[in-house]
């Protein structure tokens, strides 16, 4: 019963095979090989963005931090959801790589930025002349950290607010594949057509060893991104293996099959858990994450049976406190989640 994270899932055989086949001969390093050019072309096609510059990095933190640094002056502030990965889980990388820019945290239900809160935060920023931080980019995550998904219209609304103030819009797409499957919309509709300036397409959460493609829809930003990527130590020398992962994900729509399987497993979990009176789901389940709470005693039972998942918050006490007290959990599914795992997990909770 593995619900720890999607990046704990094994790598699909097709991807490993593609990496093995990628470079039977020496390949030019640093992205100067033909497979990297192919991966970039595939990403441009996928996003229907023929002018976009595409850059590959090995981690989602690098994709976010380097993209935001490219869009942010040191004296600006980045508008982000309160629970955004850039705020909670990147050890200050966006602030570090932007040479000290600030984050302004925005509220909004179920992990989505509330447009009115964003508009209010932008309105009060930058009014103190040289004494205060200035307005910088807006960043959002799709699928969100709460396992919900922004529809294209919701992104366009946020994009409209950013545009009215002349601010760029960044999208953390570590799980954009899950969002695409949920919305049924095109990658273009979820990004540049909705006003996104830079987006990432995450491979790691789908199941590959580690690649994120950064789409710079304004190609004039590419040179600065290139310099920042190199300076940060994120220009991967054996680039051909990053490229092979993207090419494998695009082949025969493997990305879609992986994301569909992960989303379907989360939906199956949510359907069973949502039917139980002693379980409360915290958010709509729209991608591959389920947040829910149930009595502490049942957490102990699940743990004893070998279930793996994070308590939410991660330091919620399992050993002290009443048996009946509800404690939160985060369950993440992946392409490799099996029906039997979902079934066994739910049976333990159903037994009450």
Ligand X SMILES: Cc1ncc(COP(=O)(O)O)c(C=O)c1O
Binding stretches for ligand X (CB under 6 A): 59-61, 64, 85, 141, 145, 172, 174, 204
- Give least dist CB 241 to ligand X, A: 16
345: closest CA among 318, 307, 310?
Answer: 307
Output the smallest distance, CB 338 to ligand X, in A.
Answer: 22
Minimum distance between the CB of residue 320 and ligand X, rounded to whole angstroms? 28
The residue among 173 and 295 lying less far from ligand X, judged by its C-beta, is 173
Minimum distance, C-beta of residue 61 to ligand X, in the bound complex (Å): 3
Of residues 61 and 263, the one with the C-beta less far from ligand X: 61
Q: How far is the CB of 68 from ligand X (least distance, A)?
A: 12
Strand pairing partners for 81?
106
What does the chain come to in residues? 352
Q: Using CA atoms, how far apart are residues 206 and 254, in angstroms rounded to an integer? A: 10
> In terms of CB distance, is 149 or 174 closer to ligand X?
174
- DSSP alpha helix (H) spans, 33-104: 34-46, 60-71, 85-88, 93-97
Closest residue by beta carbon to ligand X: 60
Q: Which is nearer to ligand X, 216 or 346 (CB)?
A: 216
Distance CA 211, CA 58 (A): 4
| Burial class, 32, CB count within 10 angstroms (exposed 0-12 / middle 13-18 / buried 19+) | exposed
Question: What residues have CB less than 8 Å from 142, skipping those under 6 apart?
Answer: 149, 150, 155, 171, 172, 173, 175, 176, 179, 190
- CB of residue 50 to ligand X, shortest distance in Å: 27
Least gap, CB of 245 to ligand X (angstroms) = 13
Alpha-helix runs per DSSP H in 125-233: 152-164, 176-183, 222-231
**Nearer residue to ligand X within complex by CB, 203 or 295:** 203
Of 136 and 173, nearer to ligand X (C-beta) is: 173
Could you tell me how far CA 312 lies from the centroid of its own chain?
18
Token pair for 276: 């139980």
> In this complex, which beta carbon is closest to ligand X, that of residue 135 or of residue 175?
175
State the minimum distance, in angstroms, from the CB of residue 128 to ligand X: 32
Is 121 or 211 the residue whose CB approaches ligand X more closely? Answer: 211
Helices (H), the chain: 13-22, 34-46, 60-71, 85-88, 93-97, 115-124, 152-164, 176-183, 222-231, 239-250, 254-274, 296-304, 339-351
């Amino acid at each position: 019963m593995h619900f720890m994270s999607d990046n704990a899932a094994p790598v699909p055989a097709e991807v490993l095979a593609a990496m093995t086949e990628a470079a039977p001969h020496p390949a030019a390093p640093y992205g100067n090989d033909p497979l990297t050019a192919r991966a970039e072309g595939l990403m441009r096609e996928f996003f229907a963005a023929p002018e976009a510059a595409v850059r590959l990095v090995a981690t989602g933190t690098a994709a976010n931090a380097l993209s935001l640094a490219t869009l942010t002056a040191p004296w600006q502030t980045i508008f982000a959801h309160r629970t955004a990965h850039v705020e909670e889980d990147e050890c200050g990388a966006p602030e570090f790589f932007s040479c000290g820019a600030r984050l302004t945290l925005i509220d909004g239900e179920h992990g989505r930025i509330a447009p009115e809160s964003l508009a209010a935060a932008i309105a009060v920023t930058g009014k103190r002349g040289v004494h205060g931080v200035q307005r910088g980019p807006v960043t959002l995550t799709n699928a969100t950290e709460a396992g919900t998904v922004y529809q294209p219209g919701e992104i366009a609304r946020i994009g409209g607010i950013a545009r009215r103030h002349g601010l760029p819009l960044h999208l953390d797409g570590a799980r954009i594949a899950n969002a695409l499957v949920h919305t049924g919309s095109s990658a273009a509709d979820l990004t540049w057509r909705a006003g996104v300036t830079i987006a990432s397409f995450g491979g790691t959460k789908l199941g590959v060893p580690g690649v994120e493609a950064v789409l710079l829809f304004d190609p004039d930003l590419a040179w600065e991104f290139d310099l920042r990527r190199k300076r940060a130590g994120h220009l991967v020398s054996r680039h051909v293996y990053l490229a092979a992962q993207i090419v494998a994900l695009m082949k025969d729509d493997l990305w879609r099959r992986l994301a569909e399987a992960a989303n379907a497993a989360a939906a199956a979990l949510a359907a069973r858990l949502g039917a139980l009176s002693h379980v409360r789901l915290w958010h709509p389940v729209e991608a591959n994450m389920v947040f829910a709470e149930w009595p502490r005693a049942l957490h102990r039972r699940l743990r004893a049976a070998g279930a793996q998942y994070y308590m939410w918050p991660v330091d919620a006490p399992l050993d002290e406190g009443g048996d009946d007290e509800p404690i939160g959990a985060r369950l993440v599914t992946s392409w490799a989640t099996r029906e039997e795992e979902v079934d066994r997990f739910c049976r333990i909770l159903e037994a009450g």
